[in-house]
Amino acid sequence: NIRELFDVKLFLRTSYKTAKTRREARSGYVTLEGFWEDPPGYVDKVVWPNYVEDHAFLFKNGDVEEAVDGPACESLGIRVMPQSGEENMTKCLEWAYAVVEEALDDI
């Protein structure tokens, strides 16, 4: 499991609405292969189903739109971003920085 290779594990949760809004607001981006633009329906057909499949185990009853399963995340050593960071990338970054800084201080 690749998760075991990380010293600090952060989970930056999102909602369907936020993921769709952010992804569809992008005009595209540069990749190693060239410029990528999401095809129509990409969020609904690819992005969101993969998010749900990959992260359901972190949520109560596997529902990614509901509460995070705190004990499950804690047992895996996963720190979960406060919900206030979901809509505010500055708060998200500040939280993540503080977690990493704390881990470095513990070394």
DSSP 32: T
Predicted TM-score of the model (pTM): 0.82
pLDDT tens digit sequence for 9-59: 999 999 999 999 999 898 888 999 999 999 999 999 999 999 999 999 999
Of 13, 9, 11, 10, which Cα lies nearest the Cα of 87? 13
Q: What is the pLDDT of residue 2?
A: 87
Of 68, 16, 84, which Cα lies nearest the Cα of 47? 16
* Burial class of residue 55 (count of CB atoms within 10 Å of its CB; 0-12, 13-18, 19+): middle
pLDDT tens digit sequence for 75-93: 999 999 998 888 888 999 9
**Measured between alpha carbons, how far is residue 21 from residues 10, 25, 44 in Å?**
22, 6, 12
Helix (H, G, I), strand (E, B) or coil at 95: helix
